[in-house]
Amino acid sequence: MLDLINDFEIFLSIERNYSILTVNNYIKDLKEFQHFFLCKNMEFNFDNLTQEKQARIFISYLNQRKLKNISIMRKVSSLRTFYNFLIERHCFKQNIFKLIKLKKAPKKLPKIISETNIQMLFKAIDTSNQLGYRNYLILDLLYSCGLRVGELINLKIKDIYFSNAQILIYGKGNKNRYLPLHANLLKMLKYYIYNIRAFLNSSSSINRNDYLFLNYKQKPLTTKGIRFILDQLCFRIKQNTIKISPHMIRHAFATILLNNGADLRVVQELLGHKNLKTTQIYTYVSNTFLKNQFLTHHPRNNYKKNYKKLSTGETNYE
């Protein structure tokens, strides 16, 4: 079974072009499924894995652990993908996890960081030193391009097209996209690559296949490293009670575009969403913003009408 999991890992990495984080999550879910059978003293082979009953026992086990519905759905999704992979290789004839219908988790509204807090984060960064300059650039890319954290850490020098003022993003599910770069960001990227990054990297030569962002150990930055940078910035602006994640900045990117009148399909393309429904959740946040703006600024909302009651109990407006 381990050989199949290894083959599946290669399939996700090469054929599906999934990020390292996504692949690791898939493999983690599969190994948990395997471990469950071992703990139950059940042989982990093709005979018992073709039974729908075994799949339901595993899901029951997940429910007993009181996992959130969205976590269970993710694990089942991983197993469905694995079974599809096995069917393509003629190991199975049917996908037992497709027979199981789970209750869909209600979609939560994205947590949004305010524009004020975003600007406070920028102001908290000291760009006079190399790491500060790098961190400013990271924050600018997250906010100006709406990148996922996995997309950010996987950026390479070759992905930046200075002549076209664009950056190539290798998105989820093999959905790649070109994003525009504003003039100041383009200028900062060029200075970072030829000056700051050269300082962080012991090698004097610049290889276009190298990762864009390095840590102080001259290794590519990780998701954990990006989160640590944001945590430190929150501490500096005395917002350490608020957990600002890279994805919250991505949400802010989408919301500010919609609030300023951007077309929903344009925002969909910029975010790299396959389905428009995924992007539509931001319209609710945007509509809330519009409502608040209306209630705050429209003169009729602040107009107080004087009225008096008639003896009949009716209301007579003056």
Catalytic residue among 75, 148, 197, 251: 148
Phi, psi of 170 (to 5 degrees): -90, 100
Point out which residues pair with 178 in neighbouring strands. Answer: 168
Catalytic residue status for 148: yes
Contact 282, 258 (CB under 8 A): yes
Catalytic residue status for 273: yes
Side-chain half-sphere CA neighbours of 135 within 13 A: 22
Q: How many CB atoms lie within 10 A of CB 58?
A: 21
Q: How many CB atoms lie within 10 A of CB 233?
A: 21
Catalytic residue status for 35: no
Residue 156 has what DSSP assignment? Answer: B
Cα separations (Å) of 93 from 43, 49, 88? 20, 12, 9
Catalytic residue status for 250: yes
Phi, psi of 187 (to 5 degrees): -65, -40
What residue type is 165 in one-letter code? A
Q: Which of 3, 58, 5, 59 is nearest to 28 (CA)?
A: 5
Catalytic residue status for 89: no
CB-count exposure of residue 173 (10 Å: 0-12, 13-18, 19+):
exposed
Residue 252 has what DSSP assignment? Answer: H
Catalytic residue among 16, 56, 111, 172: 172
Catalytic residue among 56, 80, 98, 247: 247
- Cα separation, 79 vs 65, whole angstroms: 18
Active site residues: 148, 172, 247, 250, 273, 282
